[in-house]
Structure 1
Amino acid sequence: MTVSAWVFIAGSRWSEVHGTDANLAMAISRRVPVIWVEPPISAAERVRTRSSMRTRSHDLAPNITAIEITTPPYPSRPILRSVADRHFSAAIRAFAVRRNITVEATVVATPRADFPQLPGERVYLVTDDWLAGAELMGLSPQWVGRKLAGNLEGADITLAVSPVLRDRLVSIRSDAIVHVLPNGSNFDQFDFGTARPPDVPAANYAVLCGQLNERLDIGVLEATVDAGAHLVVIGPVTTRDAGSREAFEKLATHPNVRFTGEKSRAEMVPYLVHASVGITPYVVDSFNRASFPLKTLDYLVAGLPVVSTDLPASRWLEPDGVVNAATPAEFASRVVELSDRPNDATEDRRAKQKTLLAAHSWAARADQLLGLVRGSAGAGREAASRASTA
């Protein structure tokens, strides 16, 4: 029996912290089966770990199957890149044929891949300013630029997570039609009556969730706790920069700071419920200006006010309760001010959550994308068009 499915060519492994690609794939999978294509593994790595060279598959969740493809050795070397790309594309096609899968859409959500030769709609999901962040990812900016230009030409639908990123893509290919599909939130089930976690301060506190890396402005964090705010930090330290790692380790010793380490989404709920304010202290640079931080929506859906450094995506969310700060001192002042306020009543937070989820859940984003792919003139195209003019 033939099965219709979507193919997601991912920018990160499913086992890593879930970003835009994994969250959207999960939401799409509740509507149509998804084939999640993990970033390829070099044959040299397979030899080193004595693992099979075959394309392997396994179920990740209901309606999501992952495939792992082995590419020729040293695929990052220029002379072997085209060979590796062709092999990767052929392996995806072969898997679809073996499983009797009719591909409705292929989503490329990585700066490293081209569109494979598959039927169906080609969706280019640009989750960050990959050109600005190329060196941070260990990639050649020239190579990333060529990939972007080629995929913009080959895509039937191009999506960017923010208006700034949309404009960057149009500057690369002036005739590209780029829809804005912002990030969403998965926090659709909150128990606002949950007990206060034992490892948080007795005082009101701000919360910072997510990966701790070079994208965060450590100076803003230091100013915030030095101003008297209590801060609970939830997430793994993933920075590759020794200076940043040392700065986070120093921050962890501040008497107003609690580091919990990484938590599952379910484990994060009590920390968000009992917080007074969420913070998004990103460095304001080209890469972050084009981003749409996932954490900001998670805070809002938890019913929290948010203080953010001055990012375009945060300005877009100001009507929903985001306060933007231009300097570390202003950021710290606003966090202290909001921390001093009592939490909203539970019913008020539930009402706010319901309103925000209707507009900003990953389920809503999946419906918008399905509408675009299936040529809908309804909610999907209208919602993406509204965001495109933001």
Structure 2
Amino acid sequence: MIVYFGGTAYDGVAGTDRQLADRLSAFTPVLYVDPPVSVLTPLRQPQLAGSLRGSTLRKVTPRLWRLCPRVLPGAYRSGMHHLTAALVRRSARQAARRLAATLGDTVSAVVVATHIETLGAVPGARTVYYATDDLVAGAGLIRLPRRRLAAVRDRMIARADEVAVVSPPLRDQFRQRGCEAVLIPNGCAPEAYTGIDDAPWPDDVPRFDRPAVGFAGHINARIDLGLLEAVAGAGHPLLLVGPHDAAYEPERFRALTDRPNVCWTGRKSFAELPAYLGTIRVGLTPYRLDDFNRASFPIKTLDYLAAGRGAVSTDLPATRWLRAFEDGEDLIRSASTVREFVHAVDLELAAEPTPELAGRRRAFAGRHDWTHRARAFARLLNIDPSAEQHTDRQEEPAP
């Protein structure tokens, strides 16, 4: 059994941690540990009370369990973060022992993809520290002290049996610190987009009078709003799918979504995403070119290709890495300036959307799917990926 400490809640954004944990559960049972929640959260956020009521350990699929640790208020304040880590380790250790006894299994590995020091949660288990972002560069975004995040990173690098990273810049950064990390980039789920062209048109999206472009994801400080404004300013229909951080450029964002050629749908689930991508011809990855984003590996670029759509991204190292693969250079356009970005969108919109082109995009994405990534990770954990079992995901029972 694997204990996987995720950087995001399992029922949150279906990103790296959830996608990888889901697929690892095809090889071995997985206990997914959410970021901890204060015991006072249900009182402060009544809308979450239902999801936080009842047992903190729940079965998600026949081979995957989710643990929601409870901790004291002020979990990440100076000094308190040590107690928080200890409480999370204890909670995970107790849940893992209980599950292992029920399954007649043992915990073979612990994966840590968060800033909380939990490598030692299960003594004797193989440990892997998985850096899915440059949290030190993103300290301001997650509102934690940069010095503390750097110290935790260095301690986990030193203690882990193996270290994996999500992007080439992180691999280079760790190498400079004397650590040879394994590169396991993000992937995509091509199977989610089967039949996308036959999906019903979403009720909250207008019928565009010309080919549209779109963005799917969180609209926050990581996104270059100027690029979206420029694309809309060029007259292209623009679809925005995802939540907006109310603190990020509220007036500019309101002005953008008030334009007649811009449609903003708000948050949608991963299951709903294919229908929305079916309404566009080109997908955008308009990330700011800062240190945090340069070390990231946006999933959305591969999702667009898996949906058979064109992809235009800012010139991130992850984009260059993908473009270096066979067929990648002419399937993904990248740009460093606003003018180049809009020009790349123009060129991609002008490309005839033939079945052959869509097939090439999907085939490229298929070489980077989550199952490939999970098999590489399983080998890192000394787990045989040939023992794959297919299980259908089931929703958690209502509390």
Could you say which residue in structure 2 is the equivalent of 1:12? 8
Cα deviation per residue 1:15-53 (whole Å; 9 max; x = unaligned)?
221221111111111222110111112345477689899
Map residues 1-390 of structure 1 onto 2, 5 A cutoff: 5-45=1-41, 56-99=56-99, 100=101, 101-118=105-122, 119-171=124-176, 173-174=177-178, 176-189=179-192, 190-191=194-195, 192-197=197-202, 199-200=205-206, 201-237=208-244, 239=245, 241-242=247-248, 244-318=249-323, 319-320=327-328, 321-345=331-355, 348-350=357-359, 352-357=361-366, 359-374=367-382
Paired residue secondary structure (1:279): strand
Q: 1:96 to 1:376 in 2, by over 3 A?
A: closer
Cα deviation per residue 1:134-168 (whole Å; 9 max; x = unaligned)?
12101000110111001001111211111011112
- Give the Å deviation of 1:179: 0.9
Distance in 1, matches of 2:252 and 2:342, equals 18
- Give the Å deviation of 1:194: 3.1
Q: 1:279 to 1:48 in 2, by over 3 A?
A: closer
Q: How many residues align?
A: 368
- Give the Å deviation of 1:188: 1.3
Q: 1:177 to 1:94 in 2, by over 3 A?
A: same
Distance in 2, matches of 1:61 and 1:375, equals 20
Distance in 1, matches of 2:302 and 2:232, equals 23
Paired residue secondary structure (1:116): helix
Paired residue secondary structure (2:74): coil
Could you say which residue in structure 2 is the equivalent of 1:384? none
Structure 1 unaligned runs (5+)? 379-390
Residue type at the aligned position of 2:108: E
Q: 1:376 to 1:38 in 2, by over 3 A?
A: closer
More divergent stretch after superposition (49-58 vs 16-25): 49-58
Identity %: 33
Is contact 1:315–1:322 with CA below 8 Å preserved after alignment? no
Q: 1:349 to 1:115 in 2, by over 3 A?
A: same
Cα deviation per residue 1:209-232 (whole Å; 9 max; x = unaligned)?
111111110111111111122211
Structure 2 unaligned runs (5+)? 387-399
Paired residue secondary structure (2:191): coil
Distance in 2, matches of 1:285 and 1:49, equals 33
Q: 1:261 to 1:97 in 2, by over 3 A?
A: same
Structure with bigger RCO (C-alpha 8 Å, 6+ apart): 2
Residue type at the aligned position of 1:335: V
Paired residue secondary structure (2:110): strand
Distance in 1, matches of 2:62 and 2:376, equals 22
- Give the Å deviation of 1:340: 2.8
Residue type at the aligned position of 1:203: R
Q: 1:377 to 1:267 in 2, by over 3 A?
A: closer
Query: TM (normalized to structure 2)?
Result: 0.85
Query: TM (normalized to structure 1)?
Result: 0.87
